[in-house]
């Protein structure tokens, strides 16, 4: 058997094959290195600026910084709304091993309300775990000290300080200043629609009522920002740049705090309101609604328990001074008298004989006077002084509703006053068309007669009544009530312009004097307010009113003892002083209190006594007016109509 052939290797061929493979491999490596270098050049040189910006965007964050809210002062420099440091208990969930156990322990230690715990877990949802969440919005000093002593046991939990609104006079100014509260979803939506959302990026509170809401843009300020460096987990490492926020403007109100406190004292335990205005410039000197409530309850979020306490039949949340709509009763008799004189329906000498009742021919209905035996022969001056109903029944009948409605519209009835509060009602100045539209019934002559004593469908707010009296004592000059007086600039006050409407033009200027003299007689001769103002060191004038709330049959006599308290008459008074050069006009409304001369006028006197006895002057020098001449404006009812929403229980 032949032996197998031994193959001899071709070394030359193998060497060539290896060389080719080595060359191809080297070529691939070179190409790949070239690609890497090219891409590296593209990233590091060609696109350096672009990627540097992106890197900085991941490393540097711009955070908003909330501005300090502007302070609020009264006309004498008394601080009415301030910012005070408060301490809150903050939790960083990421740093806590057992969050639920820790919260339970803290609840026991600090006696945390179950509602606060529920709010905490609600706020926790949707919040990144390394960001702090408030467990308690406002710690008491005792709670802060108690936790500080145990803080070493609770990593991830700390006491943090911030500025929060505080109202030192509490319920005395609630319906003037209002309050701020936590921004909610509805607020955010409105801010977004108005284009202001960015300016509230770091803000916790927003004005919800009163001046705080009406002048929110002035008081809030402008947001600032800080550039910070963060790590890959989003934690701040250091601050790179800081642009401070612009604080809100400090504002000064026309309110005189001494008058406001006098009003609060006078209305203790009573329901009603008082409005006092300076007729020279429309400045609101006092505005108080009773009962009231402490606005500080809303600043940190009112509890359901406390909110329910405010939902009583006494309605403390309701601003009676600007939203309360009452029959004006006899307080409008001077204005009706002026209308009668202007329309030449009566003259200063015209008289009727008051037997205590009024009846039209061929009409069974009898209208009675508050004085059952009448007032005898009565002219326009005496009719105002003694508040003779019979005279004004007859006057209203002769004038007719059309002329009455047209003239009373000129004095502001049935319209918004333009006061710088969103919480305002417009009342009802009846006319044939309005009664048909609102009540779907025709106008009857009996309605006109009742209008003569400020009853029927006629309703007015206390601020409307005060404005109408200011228009009267100004002899047609129509000022717009304003709560804000001006802005603070260092230690000076920059006053805003006085706002006015087109003046009331009348045919005979002497008619103003006739009516004003009769109001003088109401207080200083034998009028219905003579007792209340006896012995003052100033001369005042005014008109009482007693508004009937329920109908009384013709053969019956009004007897308060037979009626429930809510159906008792409202006591009212409008007035001004001094008589020759008025500095204050005032309206007092006491619900279910009885007669205006006996109940409302004495309160008006207390406030006026305070005004003239303890009258103070601004501590701040007035450096300029924002307008040297009064600003005359014409606003439609639609433009004046305020937007009012009910308080949010969670705020």
Burial degree of 490 (CB within 10 A; 0-12, 13-18, 19+): exposed
Provide the 8-state DSSP code for 600: I
| Nearest-angstrom CA–CA distance, 634 and 479 | 12
| Nearest-angstrom CA–CA distance, 228 and 78 | 40
The CB-side HSE value for 201 (13 A sphere, CA atoms) comes to: 13
The two three-digit tokens of residue 451, written as one number? 């209008």
- Give the 3-state DSSP-derived string for 265-331, with helices as H, strands as E and coil as C: HHCCCCCEEEEEECCCCCEEEEEEEECCCCCHHHHCCCCHHHHHHHCCCCCCCCCHHHHCCECCHHH
The two three-digit tokens of residue 16, written as one number? 């060539």
| Nearest-angstrom CA–CA distance, 504 and 609 | 31
Burial degree of 127 (CB within 10 A; 0-12, 13-18, 19+): exposed
Taking Cα atoms as reference points, which of 384, 374, 260, 294 lies closest to residue 334? 384
The two three-digit tokens of residue 586, written as one number? 């005032």
Long-range contacts made by residues 14-20, C-beta under 8 angstroms, separation at least 24? none
**Contacts of 488 by beta carbon, 8 Å cutoff, 6+ apart:** 71, 73, 249, 250, 251, 252, 494, 620
Angle between the 462-473 and 333-342 helix axes, to the nearest 10 degrees? 40
Q: Are 247 and 223 in contact (CB under 8 A)?
A: no
Asked whether the bond before 589 is cis by omega within 30 degrees of 0, the reply is no
DSSP symbols for 165-209: EE-TTGGGGHHHH-EEEE--HHHHHHHHHHT-GGGGTT--EEEEE
| Nearest-angstrom CA–CA distance, 596 and 330 | 9
330 is catalytic: yes
254: left (phi over 0), alpha (psi -120 to 50) or beta: alpha
Given the residues 330, 387, 456, 468, select the one marked as catalytic. 330
The two three-digit tokens of residue 417, written as one number? 């006053």
Taking Cα atoms as reference points, which of 216, 260, 293, 215 lies closest to residue 482? 215
List alpha helices for 376-493, DSSP H.
380-385, 389-399, 401-410, 432-439, 445-451, 462-473
Phi/psi of residue 408, each to 5°? -70, -30
- Give the 3-state DSSP-derived string for 41-86, with helices as H, strands as E and coil as C: HHHHHHCHHHHHHHHHHHHEEEEEECCCCCCEECCCCCEEEEEEEE
Residues known to be catalytic: 330
């Amino acid at each position: 058997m032949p032996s197998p052939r031994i193959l001899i290797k071709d070394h030359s061929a193998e060497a060539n094959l290896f060389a080719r493979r080595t060359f191809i491999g080297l070529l691939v490596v070179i190409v790949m290195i070239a690609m890497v270098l090219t891409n590296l050049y593209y990233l590091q040189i060609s696109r350096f600026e672009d990627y540097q910006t992106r890197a900085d965007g991941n490393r540097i964050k711009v955070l908003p910084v909330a501005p300090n809210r502007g302070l609020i002062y009264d006309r004498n420099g008394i601080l009415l709304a301030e910012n005070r440091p408060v301490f809150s208990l903050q939790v960083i969930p990421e740093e806590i091993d057992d969050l639920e156990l820790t919260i339970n322990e803290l609840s026991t230690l600090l006696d945390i309300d179950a509602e606060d715990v529920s709010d905490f877990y609600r706020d926790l949802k949707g919040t990144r775990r390394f960001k702090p969440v408030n467990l308690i919005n406002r710690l008491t000093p005792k709670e802060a000290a108690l936790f500080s002593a145990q803080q070493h046991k609770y990593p991830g939990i700390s006491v943090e300080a911030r500025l929060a609104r505080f109202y030192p006079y509490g319920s005395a100014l609630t319906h003037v200043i209002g309050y701020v509260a936590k921004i909610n979803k509805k607020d955010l939506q409105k801010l977004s629609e108005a284009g202001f959302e960015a300016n509230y990026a770091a803000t916790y509170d927003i004005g919800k009522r009163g001046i705080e809401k009406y002048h929110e843009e002035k008081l809030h300020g402008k947001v600032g920002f800080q550039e910070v460096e963060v790590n890959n987990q989003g934690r701040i490492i250091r601050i790179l740049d800081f642009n401070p926020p612009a604080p809100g403007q400090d504002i000064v109100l026309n309110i005189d705090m001494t008058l406001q406190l006098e009003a609060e004292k006078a209305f203790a335990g009573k329901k009603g309101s008082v409005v006092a205005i300076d007729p020279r410039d429309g400045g609101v000197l006092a505005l108080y609604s009773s009962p009231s409530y402490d606005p500080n309850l809303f600043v940190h979020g009112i509890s359901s328990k406390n909110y329910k306490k405010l939902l009583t039949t006494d309605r403390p949340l309701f601003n009676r001074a600007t939203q309360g709509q009452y029959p004006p009763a006899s307080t409008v008799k001077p204005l009706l008298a002026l209308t009668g004189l202007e329309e030449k329906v009566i003259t200063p000498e015209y008289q009727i004989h008051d037997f205590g009742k009024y009846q039209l021919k061929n009409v069974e209905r009898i209208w009675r006077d508050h004085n059952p035996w009448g007032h005898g022969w009565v002219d326009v001056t005496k009719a105002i002084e003694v508040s003779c109903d019979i005279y004004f029944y007859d006057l209203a009948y002769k004038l007719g509703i059309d002329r009455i409605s047209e003239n009373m519209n000129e004095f502001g009835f049935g319209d918004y006053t333009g006061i710088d509060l969103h919480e305002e009602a417009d009342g009802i100045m009846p006319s044939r068309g309005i009664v048909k539209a609102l009540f779907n019934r025709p106008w009857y002559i009996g309605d006109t007669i009742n209008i003569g004593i400020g009853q029927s469908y006629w309703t007015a707010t206390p601020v409307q009544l005060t404005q109408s009296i200011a228009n009267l004592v100004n002899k047609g000059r129509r000022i717009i009530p304003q709560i804000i007086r001006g802005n603070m600039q260092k230690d000076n006050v920059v006053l805003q312009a006085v706002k006015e409407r087109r003046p009331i033009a009348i045919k005979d200027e002497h008619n103003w004097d006739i009516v004003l003299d009769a109001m003088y007689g109401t207080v200083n001769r034998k009028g219905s307010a003579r007792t209340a103002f006896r012995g003052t060191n100033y001369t005042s004038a005014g008109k009482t009113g007693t508004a009937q709330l329920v109908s009384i049959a013709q053969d019956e006599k009004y007897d308060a003892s037979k009626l429930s308290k809510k159906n008792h008459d409202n006591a009212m008074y409008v007035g001004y002083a001094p008589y020759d050069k008025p500095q204050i006009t005032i309206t007092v409304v006491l619900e279910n209190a009885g007669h205006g001369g006996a109940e409302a006028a004495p309160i008006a006197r207390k406030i006026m006594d305070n005004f003239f006895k303890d009258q103070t002057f601004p501590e701040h020098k007035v450096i300029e007016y924002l307008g040297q001449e009064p600003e005359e404006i014409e606003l439609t009812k639609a433009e004046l109509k305020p937007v009012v929403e009910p308080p949010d229980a969670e705020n």
